[in-house]
Amino acid sequence: MGQLVKYKSGVIFAVVLTGCVALSLWLSRLIPEHYFDTVISPILVMCSTTVALVGTWIIFRHSEGLRVRKAWGLTLLAWGMADAAYILFWMVAPMPVMNMGAYQLTTHELLIANLLGWLLLLYPTEALRPGWMNVKHALQQLIPMFVLVALDYVLPVNLAPVISLYPFVLIVLLLGHVRVYRSWCEENFSTLDDIDVEWIMRYLVMLVLVGVVYLYMCLTHDPSRGFTQLWLVAFMFVYSTEQILFRRDPWEMVRKTDIEKPVEVPEPNAAYRQALEEWMEREKPFLQPDFKLIDLRQVLPLNRTYLSQFIHSEYDCTFYQLVNRYRVEEAKRLKRENPDLKAKDLSARCGFSSPTVFTRTFTSITGLTPREWSKKEVFSEK
């Protein structure tokens, strides 16, 4: 059921996002250009402002003390206030909302746009590396941007296109956190379906689309793309707020159950290894999809750091990889005893979250698909 819900969530996201872009492109061709500045754009900016501020209220009301939610709440608040200020200025002294183009945008307007883009990266950074974004790292990311802006003021060269590209550099750097996050999850969980890497990647897809549309406006002065961008921003705010409120935070799951304690006199690794293997064979805890690294404390009196180091030193793999070895061996045993068992039944009985994950993991470990292995090892013996 969880895999079905996850599948539907991915499909719904792809369909709605595609429809949002396609519909905005189609409508932008039908609406006269002067309507963008006088009617459509102000209305859409007001809508995005409302969505951002309402989302801020909802997020902070249900933050539950989680820093990752507060990061998203601050992002929505900053964006909503910026849009509200923009609308206020527009009402006091009407100006073309969509008067874009790198040759027309002022340097300080590009700076504000880049700062808002940087704010949109706070949430994924905090979700992937809790606590990493501090004053030092924030300055390391922002100082190059300010340097470019200062150079644009003093040099005769137009640096606006370069400044417009800077948020994409930050997105590329963020992908490094994705790799670290995946590694951390493999160290702590036996099932990776709920770690939300897919959700973070969907967020980055939305962010890249917003950035591409913005860059296109900067380089071509096409006001209709501003129409598309405002649709994308509103969709990203609504979808992201819903996902952030209902997603499970793996970091918080570990923190709630992990109490780091120093080990006074560690026993030899050989004794620990024997105790662990006997427990795994006897209790088969790996059959539970939510089996975690800290569950090993039932047999090994080590904290999470020591447990991870022990797995690496003794088995030369991550916790995730070790558990999957046991699950694959259990699947082999069950298949030998019950040759008629299907992949769906094997995956459910061996702790895999879905037949797809089972097949992929089995093939990775054995070099054969479950069907190929069965023909070679089970049915060939008959």
Where are the domains positioned within the chain? 13-256, 268-381
213: Cα separation from own chain's centroid: 21
* 52: nearest Cα among 234, 244, 242, 239: 234
Inform me whether the pLDDT recorded for 12 exceeds 60: yes
Cα-flanking dihedrals φ and ψ of residue 369, to 5°?
Answer: -70, 160
Angle among Cα 101, 103, 105 to the nearest 5 degrees reads 60
Whole-number Å distance between alpha carbons of 309 and 236: 39
Separation CA 71–CA 62 (nearest Å): 13
- Gap between the Cα atoms of 75 and 69, Å rounded: 10
Average pLDDT, the chain: 81
Q: Is the pLDDT of residue 231 over 50?
A: yes
pLDDT band at 378; cut points 50, 70, 90: low
CATH top-level class for 268-381?
mainly alpha
What tens digit of pLDDT does each residue of 29-58 get? Answer: 777 767 766 777 778 888 889 999 999 999
Cα-based distances in Å from 96 to 24, 89, 295: 19, 11, 60
* Least confident piece of the model among 21-25, 77-81, 94-98: 94-98
pLDDT of residue 278: 92
> Rounded distance, CA 61 to CA 65, Å?
10
pTM, whole model, 2 decimals? 0.78
The percent of residues in the chain predicted with pLDDT above 90, rounded, is 16
Question: Which one-letter amino acid corresponds to residue 241?
Answer: T
What letter would DSSP give residue 286? G
Confidence of residue 261 (pLDDT cuts 50, 70, 90): low
Average pLDDT, integer, range 200-217 = 84
